[in-house]
Structure 1
Amino acid sequence: MMKKVLDKGYVRLVDTMGSDLSVVNSARVSFNKATESLRDEDKKLIKYLAKNDHTSPFRHATMQFEIYAPLMVARQWWKYIIGSSHQDPFTAWNESSRRYVTEAIEFYIPEENAWRSKPENMKQGSGDNLGIEIGKEATKKLLCQIEAGMKNYDWAIENGIATEQARLFIPSAYGLMVRWYWTTSLQGVAHFLNQRTDDHAQFEIRAYAEAVKSFAIDKFPIAIEALLI
């Protein structure tokens, strides 16, 4: 299952463990009252657990994703993982490394009509889209910068420089597309979604968060709805 995001990116659901029922049964294990089907009273229990911050049962179900996104999205994503309030020790993040692989190098290039203005009253974030003339010039400059850097990278590879050093020539670091696996509990998924589906989140990472959210709701409809603020 894969959802395309931006121009070249995607979110792919690799695997899941558990279901809404897993949350219920892990919460009721102390009373030895496991059930084989989800009842109305179980749905109420899930909502009660989320509302009262009884979050450990939500860590008995997990989701695993493969993500392909601009580096600026990946680093912001990681920030919200390590900043998670529950510090889930079982969250895993494994990213492709250009020390070892020389797969096709791709970059996130905003459309000419997608360059955003600096907001008037904020130190970060963005405002409305800029005019097409500025957008065309911005895209042109970005493409020129990438072309020049890639020529240097190709030169380094052709002249026998180690891949781990040649990658220093790869331009536009924040727009470089990177790929990683992310495995986390339902609580970890919800923490990320609560932070990155907010209207104040950067547009690019919000687009990825919406893709994650659609997968999470499909697989864990009751639990995710209960955990989202």
Structure 2
Amino acid sequence: MSFINVLDQGYVRLVNHMGSDLTVVNAARVSFAKESQELSEKDIRLIKFLAREGHTSPFRHVIVQYEIYAPLMVARQWWKYVIGSSHAEGTGDSMEAWNESSRRYITEEPVFYVPGSEEWRSKPENSKQGSGEVLGTEKGEKLTSELLEYIELGVQKYEAAIQNGVCAEQARLFLPAYGMYVRWYWTASLQSVCHFLHQRLEHDAQKEIQDYAKAILELSRPLYPSSIEELIGKSE
């Protein structure tokens, strides 16, 4: 499997990857001038040790590349994580790359994330962020309808600006931003991927980015079963 649909029109695609659980083991064993040819139970015990004791540099010798199509509200939250992770205690990982499509250069038809009538959530009772229970269908239908109207108006004004000779990089100001889908490549070490998963699979993470994290996990776990199990925990 290399492709998983997320939300209404989004997706995660596994583009490329380098290394395996064996790569992690051999990166650790090079200190003793040793190398394994096949992953053994002894090697798996070493992976457990490395993860448990926080010896994370061997996991940075494994690289994964994804193509992601997600609403801007997800992309910006993801991007802030990527920037922060290179400075986070215990990660030390700057081996990341992010390249995103831009409406300065493309004028393809904009696509927007529109929650269904049963997907709108209430604000939490005891927190300044996050969300609470799902709102009733009646409220949800009204919100979905209002959002669709808002998007339609923005797209009309965007297209009118383009037709009137406005440059694409300014015409995009008329587009409702946070729900608009954007596409990007994310290339990161296995350590960084697992750091992302550990944080964004948590129950208090925003649901939409949780859905993308689940897709990243499903695509990545078959490639690095032992490393991912130890880095993010058996309960995920």
**Shorter-normalised TM-score: what interval?**
over 0.9
> Considering only aligned residues, what root-mean-square deviation do their CA atoms show, in Å?
0.8
3-state SS, counterpart of residue 174 of structure 1: coil
Q: Does 1:57 align with 2:46?
A: no
1:6 corresponds to: 7
**Distance in 1 (alpha carbons) for counterparts of 2:164 and 2:121:** 40
Q: Does 1:163 align with 2:168?
A: yes
**Distance in 2 (alpha carbons) for counterparts of 1:144 and 1:50:** 50
2:203 corresponds to: 199
Q: Does 1:181 align with 2:185?
A: yes
State the AA in 2 paired with 1:26.
A
Give 1:87 shift. Answer: 4.2
Question: Normalization by structure 1: what TM-score?
Answer: 0.98
Instruction: Return 5+ residue gaps in structure 2 as ranges.
Output: none
**Distance in 1 (alpha carbons) for counterparts of 2:53 and 2:24:** 14
**Distance in 1 (alpha carbons) for counterparts of 2:94 and 2:212:** 23
Number of equivalenced pairs: 228
**Distance in 2 (alpha carbons) for counterparts of 1:196 and 1:140:** 30
Task: Select the residue among 124, 132, 135 that pairs with 1:127.
Answer: 132
Q: Does 1:47 align with 2:48?
A: yes
Instruction: Return 5+ residue gaps in structure 1 as ranges.
Output: none
**Distance in 2 (alpha carbons) for counterparts of 1:133 and 1:59:** 49
Change (3 A) 1:87 1:151: farther
3-state SS, counterpart of residue 183 of structure 1: strand
2:223 corresponds to: 219
**Distance in 1 (alpha carbons) for counterparts of 2:92 and 2:136:** 43
**Distance in 2 (alpha carbons) for counterparts of 1:225 and 1:153:** 46
1:73 corresponds to: 74
User: Per-residue displacement from partner, 1:19-46 (whole Å, max 9, x unpaired)?
Assistant: 0000000000111111110010000000
1:101 corresponds to: 106
- 4+ runs deviating over 6 angstroms: none
Q: Does 1:145 align with 2:146?
A: no
3-state SS, counterpart of residue 183 of structure 2: strand
Question: Normalization by structure 2: what TM-score?
Answer: 0.95
User: Per-residue displacement from partner, 1:25-77 (whole Å, max 9, x unpaired)?
Assistant: 00001111111100100000001001001000000001100000010001111
3-state SS, counterpart of residue 83 of structure 1: helix
Give 1:146 shift. Answer: 0.6
Give 1:100 shift. Answer: 0.3
**Distance in 2 (alpha carbons) for counterparts of 1:15 and 1:36:** 23
**Distance in 2 (alpha carbons) for counterparts of 1:14 and 1:185:** 14
**Distance in 1 (alpha carbons) for counterparts of 2:187 and 2:66:** 6
**Distance in 1 (alpha carbons) for counterparts of 2:94 and 2:130:** 31
State the AA in 1 paired with 2:38.
S
**Distance in 2 (alpha carbons) for counterparts of 1:130 and 1:176:** 23
Give 1:104 shift. Answer: 2.1
Identical pairs, percent? 59
State the AA in 1 paired with 2:96.
T
1:136 corresponds to: 141
3-state SS, counterpart of residue 69 of structure 2: strand
**Distance in 2 (alpha carbons) for counterparts of 1:32 and 1:103:** 53
**Distance in 2 (alpha carbons) for counterparts of 1:15 and 1:2:** 12
User: Per-residue displacement from partner, 1:154-204 (whole Å, max 9, x unpaired)?
Assistant: 011111111111111112x11010000000000000000000000111110
